[in-house]
Homo-oligomer: A and B are copies of this chain.
């Protein structure tokens, strides 16, 4: 099996290999300049902070379908332990085992490969079990702060959430931008709301994952044209699942991560942000969403906060 021509044509149009040098590991994050950050800061009016992470817990979003992507197992290793003798100050410590992509997370650029290649043309086999990702590991993203823009597709369409077979198209993104009165520009961090996370919040993990609305194969060009820095949404798979073209699985992952070198975020809870943006009638804000620096990680949990 090989990827269809349609895929390769889009791939050519959105490809960023070499754009920031042959050694670049950051891709479109290069577009978040100091000036873009100053712009982002200027969007803040009320100071309201809206958290976008789901709780990290054993009954998290993973249902067991993705092998090895385990929900957090959180355990206490010390409980009120008086380390220095009875009657002294006591401390509690804990430990956790989790899949780096288990909850609200960023995919690193190395999370996907196709045709033997990673972003910037690096060989896929530079990821190994022991060496981990030799390039573009999530720890190379030392900071991720910029202007966030909410494209509330569900709200723009006047529905609570998009149906499971809805591929979010470039036209949908335009519609949501217009709804929010916001123009997406270079270095922006775009959050696309489908409302799908409500299914998980209502207790249905399996229904949350599949079938799921998500980004269409046609959206990478839209993001590329606007020089978007990163995109996150409120679904398990990011892109529509099952896919639009039969047997063309995960094409958006391949286009965004491998060809464009653009970070993707998944399982973001955009419900409260939807409400807050509607109330404040503003869909651009400061977004702080730095991943944890797991060396060589192909992803990381993140606790994003929008500051309005």
Task: Report A's interface with B, CB cutoff 8 A.
Answer: 1-3, 33-38, 41, 44-51, 53-59, 64, 66-70, 72-81, 83-101, 110-114, 124-125, 127-130, 132-133, 139, 142-145, 247, 249-251, 253-254, 286, 288, 290-299, 301-305, 307
Contacts of A129 in B (CB 8 A): 75-79, 128-129
CB pair A53–B127 under 8 Å, yes or no, is no
Determine which of B47, B48, B130 lies in contact with A36 in the assembled complex, contact meaning CB atoms within 8 Å: B47
Contacts of A67 in B (CB 8 A): 58, 77-78, 130
CB pair A290–B51 under 8 Å, yes or no, is yes
Oligomer copy total? 4
Instruction: Report the bound CA distance from A50 to B75 in whole Å.
Output: 32
Instruction: Report the bound CA distance from A77 to B303 in whole Å.
Output: 23
CB pair A295–B57 under 8 Å, yes or no, is yes
CB pair A93–B56 under 8 Å, yes or no, is no
Contacts of A3 in B (CB 8 A): 87-89
CB pair A73–B70 under 8 Å, yes or no, is yes
CB pair B293–A76 under 8 Å, yes or no, is no
Instruction: Report the bound CA distance from A97 to B70 in whole Å.
Output: 11
Q: Can you report 17 residue pairs joining A to B where beta carbons are below 8 Å apart?
A: A51-B142, A51-B290, A58-B67, A67-B78, A74-B295, A76-B298, A78-B129, A79-B129, A80-B124, A84-B250, A88-B247, A89-B253, A90-B112, A91-B250, A92-B112, A92-B113, A288-B305
Instruction: Give chain B nearest CB distance to A63 CB in angstroms.
Output: 9
Instruction: Report the bound CA distance from A64 to B53 in whole Å.
Output: 23
Given known contacts A77-B75, A92-B133, A87 and B2 CB-to-CB distance under 8 angstroms: yes
